[in-house]
Homo-oligomer: A and B are copies of this chain.
Amino acid sequence: MNEATPSAEPTGVYAKFETELQVRPDDIDMYRHVHSSRYMDYVLAARFEQMERCYQMPMSEFEKRGFGWFMAATQMNFKRPLGLGDRFIVRTWIEKFTLIGVKVQFQIERVADGKLSCDGWFDYVMVSIETARAVRLPGDIRAKYAI
């Protein structure tokens, strides 16, 4: 076939959003760096902020419709540790949609030098709060997030 075929599914380069945050003293561990598990909390915090500000559909709206997000899997690569008082950017974007969720990529960069501190991805699945089971991503929600 020689002609360009319109894809039913765009190859999907989705918008990247950024949230700036700062390390809190209680995030610091015995090595005087941010404790590993707190990077997961930072991405979560950025994602909540971006759901409201960037996707125009905050967590509270999901809940009103009886939906929650469950983290099904993650991969995280720790490059350079953040330290006390560091400011950092959390950049996230949707890599792809599945029938029941999204794969979100992220990067955490230190503001002071722009260097990458941590990157990776999170697989989220949409669940019904009532049944605690995965549900098919509603079309209107997908549309809001496919920007």
Interface residues of A (CB under 8 A from B): 24-26, 28-32, 35-38, 40-41, 44-45, 48-49, 52, 58-60, 68, 70-78, 81, 84-85
Contacts and interface: CB of A to CB of B under 8 A. Distances in A.
Nearest to A32: B30
A79 to B, nearest CB: 9
Given A24-B41, A28-B30, A74 B75 contact: yes
B85 A78 contact: no
Q: Which 7 A-B pairs have the closest CB atoms?
A: A37-B37, A26-B41, A37-B40, A75-B75, A28-B30, A24-B45, A73-B77
A85 B71 CA distance: 20
Given A26-B35, A28-B29, A73-B77, 10 more contacts: A25-B44, A25-B45, A25-B48, A26-B29, A26-B37, A36-B40, A36-B74, A37-B40, A37-B44, A73-B75
Contacts of A73: 75-78
Looking at chain A's contact residues, the main secondary structure is: mixed
Contacts of A49: 85
Contacts of A25: 29-30, 41, 44-45, 48
A84 B30 contact: yes
